[in-house]
Copies of this chain bind each other. A is one copy, B any other.
Amino acid sequence: MPRVSEQYRADRRAEILGAAARLFAANGFHATSMADIIGEAGLSAGAVYRYFPSKEDLVAAVAETALSAADEVFAELLADNAAPSPAHAVSVLIEAITARLMNEPETGVDFTRIGVQVWAEALRSPALATRADAVYLRLRGHCAEVARRRQQAGLLPDDADPDHVGAAMLGLVQGFVLQHLLINGTTPAAYIAGLNALFPTPTS
């Protein structure tokens, strides 16, 4: 048997993921079959199934790309015990989504379109719902950590629950994604200006 290099494997995996992302973004998760993905990738069915046994595995891999980007954003925001304001954290996350996910560099696909498709599909698929729940809890956890740091710095009320504040922060991000896709002319700059007007930054 020929030895298959790590690089070869990584390239095949990226090709399949790109094909799946293009189809999910264009046609939705439900209307895309494994056969469609195999056709779009131009590989054998065996090759595709070896890397991704199911559509759920593919969508999980797409979500992982988005989550890794978010992990990096929060690692930077929270480095050196920083206590950024929630409004700043939400703004930075919205800018990162715009720059890195709306035209994802590896695939050229708008990953936020896939996100909205998955939201809808998760309401009908328990398997997808379980994965979506985990994804959003991880994101909300990052937001809650921002709230916790802010509280420790005395800049959020003592009796606020950081998880609840994190939920509202994540909500602002989700609302931006939706409005950017669905309401003509919603720009990141306009939305961020709006949220900054809502949150006067305490400086004491």
Of A45-53, A54-62, A101-109, A174-182, the one touching chain B: A174-182
Q: Is A75 an interface residue (CB 8 A)?
A: no
Per DSSP, are chain A's interface residues mostly helix, strand or loop, or mixed?
helix
Q: List 7 A-B contacts (CB under 8 A).
A: A28-B124, A119-B182, A136-B183, A160-B194, A167-B175, A171-B176, A171-B179
* Shortest distance between the CB of A141 and any CB in chain B (Å): 11
Q: Please report the C-alpha to C-alpha distance between residue A169 and residue B172 in the assembled complex, in whole angstroms.
A: 8
Residue of B nearest to A119 (CB): B116
Q: Known interface pairs A120-B117, A123-B116. Does A193 touch B161 (Cβ–Cβ under 8 Å)?
A: yes
User: How far is it, in angstroms, between the C-alpha of A174 and the C-alpha of B176 when the chains are bound?
Assistant: 9
Whole-angstrom distance between the alpha carbons of A201 and B161 in the complex? 18
How far is the CB of A152 from the nearest CB of chain B, in Å?
Answer: 14
**Interface magnitude class on chain A:** 35 or more
Cross-interface CB contact of A168 among B31, B129, B195, B202, cutoff 8 Å: B195
A189 CB → nearest B CB, Å: 9
Whether A198 contacts B199 in the complex (CB less than 8 A), given A120-B119, A136-B179, A179-B171, comes out as: yes
Choose from B132, B182, B186, B197 the contact partner of A160 (Cβ within 8 Å): B197
Residue of B nearest to A173 (CB): B175
